[in-house]
C-alpha cells in the first residue's frame, strides 16, 4: 500500500508516522508513505498557494493550480483513489478503512486555511472523509488517522496474534475491562472469576461487562446488538434451515439489513453475499423492494424459499445454482479425529489448493477465472481457516471455511480416498469451530450422496427444505463509494 499525502506540512505527517508499528511497516516496505508539499508546485513568486475567497468571507483558500500539479505529479497519468480530508466529509469508519485497504495506491489531500478551491476537488477527489464532529486546524492529523487505520489492515503490518484478535472483535459491543498483575493494587482486587480458570464463566462475565458498557456509552451500538440478538433468537425457531444466517450474525461476519420477526436479510461484505429468509410471498415482495432501494453490492443471494428466488429474479439479473441441503453439527461432544497430521495451511499451499479446488463445488454456473479462484483461496488461507491433511509429510487433502462461514472445499487426493481422511478433516474443522462456540455447518448439493452420507456419519443434522444460491450477473450498480450505514 502506497500513500501519497498532499499537504502544506509534509514534515508534520512524516514525523507522526515514522514511529511504532506504522514506522516499522514503512521500514519493512509493507507500506510506503510519500508526503508531497503542495507549495513545491506553486507557480507564483514567494511560494504563495492561497488567496481570498470570491464572494468574501473570513480566511484564505488554497488555490486550484498547485493542488492540481502536485496531484498530477503523484498520479502519473493514472486516476488513483483520492481522499480529501475535510470536516464536510463522510465520517470515517472501520468499514471505510477496510475498503480503502484494498487499494494499491491512495492519494490523501489535506486542507488547511479555510479549504481548497472547489474546482480542483471536483476533478481529482473520489472520496471526502471527516474524522468526526470537532474542529481541527487542518487535515494533517486526520490524514495520519486514516493512514494508521488503513495500514494496520495491510497483511504483515500487525503480528498474526493481534490481527486474529481484531477478527474476533466482539460483534457490535465495546470491549470488556482487563486486568494484569498484581492481583491487588490500591486495595482493588482483580474480579475473582478471571482467576477461576473456568473459561465459560469468564466468557459470560466478559460478555455481561461488554453489554453493560455498551448500553451505558453507546446506545446506538447497543440497539444494533439487541436487534441482532433478537433476530438470532427468532431464526432459531427453524435452526436447521437458518443456521447459516444465525452463524453469520453470531460470528460477527454479517450485518442485519432487515429484521422483522422471521423475515430477515443479512449481508456479508467481503463476498458481497446477501442471505434472505421470508415467511410469506407478501413478506418476500416487501423485502425485495427494500433491497432494491438500499441497493447494496451483491454478488450472491442465498435464499431459503423458492418464492424469494423468483421475486429476486424479477429485480436482478440472476443465475440460479442447484439447490443445497444444509447440515449442522449441534451435538455436545467434539468428534474424534482419526488422522494425526492436520494443520493450518499457509500461503505456500496456494498452488496445491488452486490445482485441486473444484470449481463446480463453488456453485458458479459461469466459469470462474483461475485468477478469481486463486484470489479467493488466498484470502481464505489468510483468514486462517484452511487446513490440510498430510500423509508422510506430503499434503493429501484439505478443507476450509467459506467467506460466509460454511465448511467446504473438502478435497482428498485420489490415492488416499476411502481411508477416512475426509471425515478426519471435517471432524477436525468441526472441533476447531466448536472451540469458538460456533455451530459448524455446511451446504451440500442434493445429489451429492457421498457428502450427504459423510454428514450423517459424523452426526450432523440435515435441513429439510433446500437452500438456493443465486449468482448475480455483472450487477455492481454502485451508488456511491461508501454505502450508507443501514
Determine the 3-state secondary structure of 390 from DSSP. strand
Kindly state whether residue 16 participates in binding ligand 9D3, applying the rule CB under 6 A: no
Please, what is the minimum distance in Å from the beta carbon of residue 171 to ligand 9D3? 27
Report if residue 344 touches ligand 9D3, rule: CB under 6 A.
Answer: no
What letter would DSSP give residue 167? Answer: H
Ranges within 445-464 binding ligand 9D3 (CB under 6 A): none
> How far apart, in whole angstroms, are the C-alpha atoms of residue 397 and residue 50?
64
For residues 290 and 285, what is the distance between their CA atoms, to the nearest angstrom? 9
Residues 105-124 that bind ligand 9D3 (CB under 6 A): 111, 114-115
* Pick 76 or 135: Cβ nearer ligand 9D3: 135
CB distance 477 to 295 below 8 Å: yes
* 3-state SS, residue 258: strand
Least distance (Å) between residue 483 CB and ligand 9D3 = 20
Please state, in angstroms and rounded to a whole number, the distance separating the CA atoms of residues 296 and 484.
9
397 binds ligand 9D3 (CB under 6 A): no
Least Å distance, CB 23 to ligand 9D3, is: 23
Among the listed ranges 84-92, 117-125, 244-252, 256-264, the one in contact with ligand 9D3 (CB under 6 A) is 84-92
What residues does 265 pair with on adjacent strands? 258, 276
Q: E strand or H helix at 3, and its extent?
A: strand 2-7
**Does the footprint of ligand 9D3 cover residue 55 (CB under 6 A)?**
no
131 sits near ligand 9D3 (criterion: CB under 6 A): yes
**Does residue number 130 form part of the binding site for ligand 9D3 (CB under 6 A)?**
yes
Closer by beta carbon to ligand 9D3, 112 or else 228: 112
d(CA 89, CA 207): 34
Q: Is position 413 an interface residue for ligand 9D3 (rule: CB under 6 A)? A: no
**Binding of residue 86 to ligand 9D3 (CB under 6 A):** yes
Residues in contact with ligand 9D3, total (CB under 6 A)? 16
Q: Of these, 29, 45, 134, 474, which contacts ligand 9D3 (CB under 6 A)?
A: 134
Confirm if 147 and 19 have CB atoms less than 8 A apart: no
Stretch that binds ligand 9D3, among 98-106, 126-134, 353-361, 410-418 (CB under 6 A): 126-134
CB of 476 to ligand 9D3, least distance (A): 28
- Say which residue the cell 498452488 belongs to: 351
Strand pairing class (318-320; 468-472)? antiparallel
Applying CB under 6 A, does 480 fall inside the site for ligand 9D3? no
Of 136-144, 156-164, 182-190, 275-283, which part binds ligand 9D3 (CB under 6 A)? 136-144
With a CB cutoff of 8 Å and minimum separation 6, the contacts of 121 are 84
Query: Which residue matches cell numbers 509493507?
Result: 30
According to DSSP, the β-strands at 32-37 and 2-7 are parallel
Among 142, 259, 405, 440, binds ligand 9D3 (CB under 6 A): 142
Contacts of 79 (CB under 8 A, 6+ apart): none
> Pick from 136, 164, 233, 479: which binds ligand 9D3 (CB under 6 A)?
136
148 is a site residue for ligand 9D3 (CB under 6 A)? no
**Contact at 8 Å (CB) between 237 and 223?**
no
Q: How far is the CB of 101 from ligand 9D3 (least distance, A)?
A: 19
Which grid coordinates belong to 179? Answer: 486486568
Query: Of 2, 23, 53, 138, which one interacts with ligand 9D3 (CB under 6 A)?
Result: 138
Q: Identify the burial level of 465 via C-beta atoms within 10 angstroms of its C-beta, where 0-12 means exposed, 13-18 middle and 19 or more buried.
A: middle
Q: Cα separation of 406 and 403, whole Å?
A: 8
| CA atoms of 60 and 113, how far apart (whole Å) | 6
Distance CA 429, CA 460 (A): 13
Determine if 139 is a binding residue for ligand 9D3 (CB under 6 A). Answer: yes
**Closer CB to ligand 9D3, 86 or 214, in the complex:** 86
- From 66-74, 133-141, 294-302, 308-316, span contacting ligand 9D3 (CB under 6 A): 133-141
Region binding ligand 9D3 by CB under 6 A among candidate stretches 134-142, 170-178, 246-254, 329-337 = 134-142
CB of 77 to ligand 9D3, least distance (A): 28
Q: Strands, E, within 336-437: which ranges?
A: 342-344, 386-391, 394-401, 407-412
List the grid coordinates of 171: 460483534
Q: Can residue 154 be called a binding residue for ligand 9D3 (CB under 6 A)?
A: no
For 310-347, the DSSP string reads HHHHHHS-EEEPPPEEEEE---SSPPP---S-EEE--G
Q: Is 87 in the site for ligand 9D3 (CB under 6 A)?
A: yes
Among 61, 74, 85, 266, binds ligand 9D3 (CB under 6 A): 85
Q: Is 266 in the site for ligand 9D3 (CB under 6 A)?
A: no
Q: What does the binding site for ligand 9D3 look like in residue numbers (CB under 6 A)?
A: 85-87, 111, 114-115, 130-132, 134-139, 142
Amino acid at each position: 500500500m502506497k500513500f501519497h499525502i498532499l499537504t502544506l506540512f509534509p514534515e508534520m505527517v512524516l514525523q507522526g508516522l515514522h514511529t511504532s508499528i506504522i514506522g516499522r511497516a514503512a521500514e519493512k516496505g509493507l507500506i510506503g508513505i510519500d508526503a508531497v508539499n503542495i507549495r513545491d508546485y506553486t507557480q507564483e513568486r514567494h511560494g504563495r498557494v492561497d488567496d481570498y475567497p470570491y464572494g468574501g468571507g473570513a480566511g484564505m483558500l488554497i488555490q486550484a493550480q498547485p493542488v492540481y500539479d502536485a496531484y498530477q505529479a503523484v498520479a502519473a497519468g493514472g486516476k488513483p483513489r483520492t481522499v480529501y480530508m475535510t470536516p464536510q466529509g463522510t465520517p470515517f469508519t472501520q468499514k471505510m478503512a477496510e475498503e480503502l485497504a484494498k487499494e494499491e495506491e491512495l492519494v490523501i489531500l489535506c486542507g488547511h486555511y479555510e479549504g481548497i478551491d472547489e474546482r480542483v476537488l471536483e476533478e481529482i477527489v473520489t472520496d471526502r472523509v471527516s474524522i468526526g464532529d470537532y474542529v481541527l486546524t487542518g487535515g494533517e492529523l486526520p490524514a495520519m488517522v486514516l493512514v494508521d487505520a488503513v495500514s494496520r489492515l495491510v497483511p504483515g503490518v500487525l503480528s498474526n496474534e493481534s490481527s486474529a484478535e481484531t477478527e474476533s472483535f466482539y460483534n457490535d459491543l465495546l470491549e470488556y475491562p482487563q486486568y494484569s498483575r498484581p492481583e491487588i493494587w490500591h486495595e482493588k482486587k482483580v474480579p475473582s472469576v478471571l482467576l477461576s480458570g473456568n473459561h465459560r464463566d469468564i466468557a459470560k462475565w466478559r460478555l455481561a461487562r461488554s453489554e453493560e458498557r455498551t448500553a451505558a456509552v453507546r446506545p446506538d451500538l447497543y440497539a444494533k446488538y439487541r436487534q441482532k440478538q433478537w433476530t438470532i433468537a427468532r431464526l432459531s425457531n427453524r435452526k436447521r434451515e437458518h443456521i447459516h444466517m444465525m452463524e453469520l450474525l453470531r460470528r460477527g461476519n454479517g450485518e442485519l439489513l432487515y429484521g422483522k420477526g422471521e423475515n430477515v436479510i443479512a449481508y456479508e461484505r467481503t463476498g458481497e453475499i446477501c442471505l434472505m429468509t421470508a415467511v410469506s410471498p407478501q413478506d418476500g415482495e416487501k423485502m425485495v423492494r427494500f433491497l432494491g432501494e438500499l441497493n447494496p453490492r451483491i454478488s450472491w443471494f442465498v435464499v431459503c424459499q423458492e418464492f424469494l428466488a423468483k421475486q429476486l429474479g424479477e429485480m436482478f439479473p440472476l443465475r440460479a445454482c442447484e439447490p443445497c441441503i444444509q447440515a449442522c453439527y449441534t451435538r455436545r461432544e467434539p468428534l474424534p479425529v482419526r488422522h494425526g497430521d492436520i494443520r493450518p495451511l499457509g500461503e505456500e499451499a496456494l498452488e496445491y489448493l488452486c490445482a485441486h479446488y473444484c470449481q463446480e463445488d463453488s456453485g458458479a454456473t459461469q466459469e470462474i477465472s483461475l485468477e478469481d479462484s486463486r484470489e479467493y483461496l488466498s484470502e481464505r488461507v489468510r483468514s486462517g481457516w484452511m487446513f490440510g491433511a498430510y500423509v508422510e509429510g506430503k499434503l493429501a487433502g484439505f478443507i476450509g471455511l467459506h467467506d460466509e462461514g460454511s465448511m467446504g472445499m473438502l478435497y482428498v487426493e485420489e490415492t488416499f480416498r476411502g481411508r477416512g481422511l475426509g471425515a478426519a478433516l471435517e471432524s477436525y474443522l468441526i472441533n476447531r469451530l466448536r472451540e469458538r462456540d460456533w455451530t459448524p455447518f455446511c451446504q451440500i448439493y442434493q445429489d451429492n450422496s457421498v457428502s450427504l452420507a459423510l454428514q450423517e456419519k459424523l452426526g450432523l443434522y440435515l435441513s429439510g427444505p433446500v437452500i438456493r444460491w443465486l449468482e448475480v450477473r455483472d450487477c455492481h450498480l454502485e451508488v456511491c463509494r461508501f454505502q450508507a450505514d443501514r
